[in-house]
Amino acid sequence: MITAREVRLVGSKGEQLGVMPLSQAQEMARKQNLDLVEVAPMAVPPVCRILDYGKFRYEQAKKEHDARKSQKIVLLREMRMRPKIGDHDFEAKARIVRKLLADGDKVKVTVMFRGREITHPDLGWKLLQRMAEKLGDVAAMEKQPVLLGKHMHIILSPVAPAKVKAKREEAPEETEEATVKESQDAKA
């Protein structure tokens, strides 16, 4: 299926064999009981390699499988609430969103308005800002709250785990220093 007249040939062990006519390259591959495979068709002249095509395809499939296995699929999860949500319910939803962010997923926090509630979009805006502030240590707000129809939403994405870890490590030091100061003040 190679259409070029001349090809740059690479041997089975990776050595450069030079530029030669296609028929001569095919003959060399036949003598070694291997296949002639075009690896760079856009090069001038095209680059061909002598190799076992079945083994080559197997290795390529294995590399693709390993690449897919190491990829992390980021899901967009959604948390819905109403503008008149109670404090306890808000805290429960914030805990769930924190858990989803810890798993590495993005979270879309949506406030749904019904009936005349839409006349007070500022309530929804304040609620979304409160959620963003509550989760500020583990999430970054991608953009300001957006009102689309009867829904207002923000998208929270998890911050890098190293940043969260650094913040957690800083916090215990501050509390230890505070307890040491308190104990010193108590002694005096």
Give exposure, 32-42, as e/b (b: 16+ Cβ within 10 Å).
eebbbbbeeee
Residues 139 and 101: their CA atoms lie apart, in Å, by 7
Of 103, 45, 116, 52, which Cα lies nearest the Cα of 77?
103
Residues of the chain with CATH 3.10.20.80: 1-53
Of 25, 61, 27, which Cα lies nearest the Cα of 46?
25
Amino acid at site 180? V
pLDDT at res. 31: 93
Burial status of residue 76 (CB atoms within 10 A of its CB: 0-12, 13-18, 19 or more): exposed
Of 47-61, 63-77, 111-125, the one with minimum mean pLDDT is: 63-77
Amino acid at site 85? I
Contacts of 78 (CB under 8 A, 6+ apart): 107, 108, 109, 110
CATH architecture of 1-53: Roll (3.10)
- pLDDT for residue 62 is more than 50: yes
Residues of the chain with CATH 3.30.110.10: 76-163
Rounded mean pLDDT of 63-84?
86
- pLDDT for residue 171 is more than 90: no
- pLDDT for residue 173 is more than 50: no
Average pLDDT, the chain: 85
Rounded mean pLDDT of 20-38?
92
Query: Does residue 67 sit in helix, strand or coil?
Result: helix
Rounded mean pLDDT of 15-37?
92
Query: Does residue 151 sit in helix, strand or coil?
Result: strand
pLDDT at res. 161: 61
Omega cis (within 30) before 45 = yes
Fold of the domain spanning 76-163:
Translation Initiation Factor IF3 (3.30.110)
- pLDDT for residue 17 is more than 60: yes
Query: Does residue 27 sit in helix, strand or coil?
Result: helix
Q: What percent of the chain has pLDDT over 90?
A: 57
pLDDT tens per residue, range 95-115: 999 999 998 889 999 999 999
